[in-house]
């Protein structure tokens, strides 16, 4: 009798397994927790938990002067921190209404596009690693290293760069930086082509990624997707084209779009974007205008160190900027840039005080990661890992 | 006033005569202050009739000195085909922090609303899963409110008064 009863209950309800993926799982490349309800190897339900590295940046920013906020932005998407830095500088420049010389804008474009390449290298090679192709990762990652060497020549830092200043760049590119940029432009295409040949049309890679974690264009828009993930779903929204900033209108480039919105399309969009970024860097180097590398805004732009030691005026400005004593206009500003993984927006309210009254970061990761559970439900566990790496979710940006 | 401002304002006033309490052009785009009781239908109207289908971002703001308008919710909408952006604001007092959730109109508002709840304590009615998102569940206050100073309250060397402001 009891045996029959057992059989009946087995038929009535399925036996699901609960699997705790994360918070610190080596395959998720960051601190993400997903509590998965599994039917065998199929994911029935996923409940994400985030916030493990929340550092209260929005609160911190309310106690920091405008120039002190820049290092915070480094730590959002740390795979492409120069873009975040530039986005913040441009937000403040919009608030104080200062025009940046063309040369500084072109320099910024070079830096931003190089960091976009670095960001996409991380994402694309990691997709390959998660399908089992370690070689491509090792081949291409040394080129990310070369980009970091360029940053090092420009600003002295590599990962959390704090590059540029409100009002322009901190200094002109040194000769050695130009040399490294030119060498990169010359040698990187061959490496990227090699990686492309190694991975893209690989049978195993395509079997694993095509139709893995797809999302439709409409659904992606509803979920607030931006950046390569939205473009992979077939919507050609790019902030660089829609609302050009930092002279992007001067450059000729394409916006690659996908059709399926699956892992393979996200990978391909990033691959194509790397080529476009390379072309933008090349155009910016060729057209680099002469002139100053920063605007004449002594109230906001830190004077040169040697002047601070020898000139009274420079010393006063230095003191005022460092202590946050400069008058700043009041107002509300929203400025967005095309970050490594989408529209990175800064919503800034200034009440004229030494610090922002309110600073809200529109973090692309945070907004599109909520679609993750929907995208992996009904798929295999191994596809969930792949979907996550192809969405390029960066924990620092997710948790702010 | 900008063309976009006039267009949206006239449509909204036609449709909801009492919904807009203030409107104007900010430095970047038009801003409309919306009555809380009309908020949901205004968002629905803007999305379905006027093409503002993309909720770019949303966040809370706290003005402790503004009495009845102490807490503000900011919504930023984007019409992608025409590239027009507008900002909506909804004011409320500390005693009435319940807001209708717009997750049924914009699925992306789910986590944005959880964030606003977590940091400011807005209670979104009709939200499918209103829990804290970035802070730990045991936390019993809403840290982005202005009464919670970031630094030690006994410290007075960083006051504005020392710098002439």
Q: Does B104 touch chain A (CB under 8 A)?
A: no
Handedness of CA A79, A80, A81, A82 (dihedral sign): positive
| Ordered strands of the A17-21 beta sheet | A17-21, A33-39, A42-49
Distances (CA, A) of A171 to A40, A158, A251, A354, B41: 58, 16, 23, 25, 52
- Find, among A330, A326, A329, A333, the residue nearest to A298 by Cα: A326
- pLDDT for the residue numbered A71: 93
Which chain B residues touch A333 with a CB distance below 8 Å?
27-28
Searching chain A, which residue's CA lies closest to the CA of residue B163? Answer: A325
- CB distance A123 to A144 below 8 Å: no
Q: How distant is the Cα of A99 from the closest Cα of chain B, in angstroms?
A: 16
Q: Does B26 touch chain A (CB under 8 A)?
A: yes
Q: What is the pLDDT of residues A174-197, one digit of tens each?
A: 999 999 999 999 999 999 999 999
Q: What value does the mean pLDDT take over residues B47-72? A: 92
Which backbone phi and psi does B86 adopt, to 5 degrees? Answer: -135, 165
Say if the Cβ atoms of B106 and A221 lie within 8 Å.
no
Searching chain A, which residue's CA lies closest to the CA of residue B159? Answer: A354
Q: What is the pLDDT of residues A368-381, one digit of tens each?
A: 999 999 999 999 99
- CB distance B23 to B34 below 8 Å: no
Residue ranges per domain, chain B?
3-110
Residues 6 or more apart whose Cβ sits within 8 Å of residue A374: A215, A219
Determine the Cα angle at A63 with ends A57 and A66, to 5°: 85
Q: Which single residue is written with the structure tokens 């699956």?
A: A262
Q: What is the pLDDT of residues A201-237, one digit of tens each?
A: 999 999 999 999 999 999 999 999 999 999 999 999 9
| Rg of chain A on CA atoms, in Å | 23
Question: Which residue of A221, A360, A370 is in closest CB contact with B59?
Answer: A360
Domains along chain A with CATH numbers: 2-48 (no CATH), 49-399 (1.10.645.10)
Q: Which CATH class is domain B3-110?
A: alpha beta
Q: What is the pLDDT of residues A377-400, one digit of tens each?
A: 999 998 999 999 999 999 899 988
Q: Does B59 touch chain A (CB under 8 A)?
A: yes
Average pLDDT, chain A: 91
Say if the Cβ atoms of A324 and B163 lie within 8 Å.
yes
Question: Which residue of A56, A332, A362 is in closest CB contact with B26?
Answer: A332
The Cα–Cα gap between B142 and B118 comes to: 6
Question: Which residue of B57, B107, B135 is in closest CB contact with A360?
Answer: B57
Say if the Cβ atoms of A224 and B56 lie within 8 Å.
yes
Supply the DSSP string of chain B, one letter for each residue. --HHHHHHHHHHHHH-TTTEEEEEE-SSSEEEEE-GGGHHHHHHHHHHTT---EEEEEEEEE-TTSGGG-EEEEEEEEETTTTEEEEEEEEE-TT--EEE--TTT-TTHHHHHHHHHHHH--EEET-TT---SSS-TT--S-TTSTTS-SS-TT--TT-GGGGT-
Q: How distant is the Cα of B137 from the closest Cα of chain A, in angstroms?
A: 11
With 50 as the cut, is the pLDDT of residue A1 above it? no
- CB distance A115 to A82 below 8 Å: yes
The Cα–Cα gap between B25 and B27 comes to: 7
Q: Which residues pair with A45 in a beta bridge?
A: A37
- pLDDT for the residue numbered A2: 46
| pTM for the structure as a whole | 0.92
Give the pLDDT band (50/70/90) at residue B164: very low
Q: How distant is the Cα of B135 from the closest Cα of chain A, in angstroms?
A: 6
Q: What is the pLDDT of residues A27-37, one digit of tens each?
A: 888 888 999 99
Distances (CA, A) of A16 to A7, A44, A147, A337: 16, 9, 47, 44
- Among B33, B130, B150, pick the best mutation site for testing chain A contact (most A Cβ within 10 A): B150
Neighbours of B157 (CB within 10 A): 6
Q: What is the pLDDT of residues B26-35, one digit of tens each?
A: 888 899 999 9
Q: Does A349 touch chain B (CB under 8 A)?
A: yes
Q: What value does the mean pLDDT take over residues B33-59? A: 92
Which chain A residues touch B83 with a CB distance below 8 Å?
242-243
Q: What value does the mean pLDDT take over residues A337-358? A: 92
Q: Which ipTM was obtained for this model?
A: 0.91
- pLDDT for the residue numbered B26: 84
Question: Which residue of B134, B158, B165 is in closest CB contact with A51?
Answer: B134
Q: How distant is the Cα of B98 from the closest Cα of chain A, in angstroms?
A: 22
């Amino acid at each position: 009798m009891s045996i029959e009863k057992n059989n009946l209950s087995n038929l009535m309800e399925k036996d699901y397994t609960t699997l705790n993926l994360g918070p610190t799982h080596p395959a998720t490349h960051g601190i993400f927790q997903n509590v998965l309800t599994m039917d065998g190897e199929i994911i029935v339900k996923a409940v994400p938990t985030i916030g493990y590295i929340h550092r209260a940046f929005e609160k911190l920013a309310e106690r920091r002067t405008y120039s002190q906020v820049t290092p915070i932005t480094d730590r959002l998407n740390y795979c492409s921190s120069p873009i975040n830095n530039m986005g913040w500088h441009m937000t403040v420049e919009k608030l104080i209404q200062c025009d940046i010389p063309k040369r500084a804008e072109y320099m910024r474009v070079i830096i931003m596009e190089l960091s976009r390449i670095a960001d996409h290298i991380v994402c694309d090679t990691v997709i390959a690693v998660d399908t089992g192709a370690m070689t491509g990762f090792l081949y291409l990652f040394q080129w990310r290293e070369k980009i970091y060497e360029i940053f090092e020549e420009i600003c002295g830092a590599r990962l959390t760069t704090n590059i540029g200043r409100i009002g322009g760049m901190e200094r002109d590119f040194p000769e050695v930086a130009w040399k490294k940029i030119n060498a990169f432009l010359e040698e990187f295409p061959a490496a990227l082509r090699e990686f492309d040949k190694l991975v893209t049309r690989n049978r195993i890679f395509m079997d694993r990624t095509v139709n893995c974690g797809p999302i439709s264009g409409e659904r992606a828009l509803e979920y607030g997707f931006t950046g390569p993930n939205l473009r992979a779903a077939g919507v050609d929204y790019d902030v660089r084209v829609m609302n050009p900033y930092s002279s992007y209108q001067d450059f000729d480039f394409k916006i690659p779009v996908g059709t399926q919105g699956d892992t393979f399309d996200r990978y391909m969009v990033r691959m194509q974007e790397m080529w476009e970024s390379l072309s933008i860097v090349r155009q910016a180097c060729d057209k680099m205008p002469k002139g100053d590398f920063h605007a004449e805004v002594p109230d906001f732009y830190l004077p040169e160190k040697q002047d601070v030691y020898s000139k009274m005026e420079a010393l006063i400005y230095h003191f005022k900027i460092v202590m946050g004593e400069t008058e700043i206009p009041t107002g509300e500003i929203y400025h967005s840039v095309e970050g490594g993984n989408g529209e990175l927006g800064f919503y800034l309210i200034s009440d004229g005080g030494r610090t922002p009254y309110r600073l809200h970061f529109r973090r692309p990761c945070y907004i599109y990661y909520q679609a993750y559970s929907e995208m992996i439900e009904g798929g295999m566990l191994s596809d969930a890992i792949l979907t996550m790496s192809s969405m390029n979710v960066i924990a620092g940006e997710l948790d702010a | 006033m900008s063309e976009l401002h006039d267009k949206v304002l006239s449509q909204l006033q036609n449709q909801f005569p009492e919904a807009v309490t203030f409107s104007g052009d900010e430095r970047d785009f038009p801003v409309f202050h919306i009555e809380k009781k009309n908020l949901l239908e205004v968002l629905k109207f803007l999305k379905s009739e006027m093409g503002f289908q993309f909720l770019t971002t949303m966040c809370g703001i706290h003005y402790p000195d503004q009495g009845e308008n102490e807490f503000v919710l900011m919504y930023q909408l984007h019409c992608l085909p025409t590239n027009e952006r507008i900002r909506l604001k909804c004011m409320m007092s500390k005693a009435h922090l319940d807001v209708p959730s717009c997750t049924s109109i914009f699925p992306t508002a789910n986590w944005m609303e959880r964030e606003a709840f977590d940091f400011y304590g807005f209670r979104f009615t009709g939200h499918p899963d209103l829990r804290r998102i970035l802070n730990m569940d045991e936390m019993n206050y809403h840290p982005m409110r202005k009464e919670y100073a970031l630094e030690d309250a006994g410290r007075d060397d960083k006051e504005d008064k020392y710098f002439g402001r």
